């Protein structure tokens, strides 16, 4: 059965996960896509459950990134409106 490990991370969604390659004797895991690294998982889930959570976290991260870009663009527009009032050229390349 496939296993997916999830461990704390310092950026959104604050939890990363990947398919487990090996569970070490000390409980740490090696995973696909993170060669040479080991992680101390907060949770290991099997089969479809782990796969589903992994997919949902990736989906939420993509939504978060898109929303954050929209917000940055909105504020950049507001900055450039203010700059135009003072005859300052626009900033921020898009």
Which structure tokens are listed for 7? Answer: 């461990």
Q: Over the chain, what is the mean pLDDT?
A: 96
For residue 2, which of 41, 48, 39, 40 has the smallest C-alpha distance? 48
Q: Is pLDDT above 90 for 21? A: yes
Which structure tokens are listed for 91? Answer: 């900033």
Judge if pTM exceeds 0.85: no
Alpha helices, DSSP H, located in the chain = 47-85
- Per-domain boundaries in the chain: 3-85
Q: Is pLDDT above 90 for 42? A: yes
Q: Is 78 strand, coil or helix?
A: helix
The Cα 43–Cα 23 span in angstroms is: 12
Q: Is pLDDT above 70 for 86? A: yes
């Amino acid at each position: 059965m496939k296993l997916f490990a999830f461990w704390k991370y310092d950026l959104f969604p604050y939890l990363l996960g990947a398919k487990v390659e090996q569970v070490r004797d000390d409980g740490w895991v090696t995973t696909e896509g993170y060669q040479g690294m080991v992680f101390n998982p907060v949770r290991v889930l099997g089969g479809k459950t782990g796969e589903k959570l992994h997919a949902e976290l990736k989906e939420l991260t993509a939504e978060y990134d898109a929303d954050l870009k929209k917000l940055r663009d909105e504020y950049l527009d507001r900055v450039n409106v203010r700059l135009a009032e003072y005859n300052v050229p626009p900033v921020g390349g898009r």
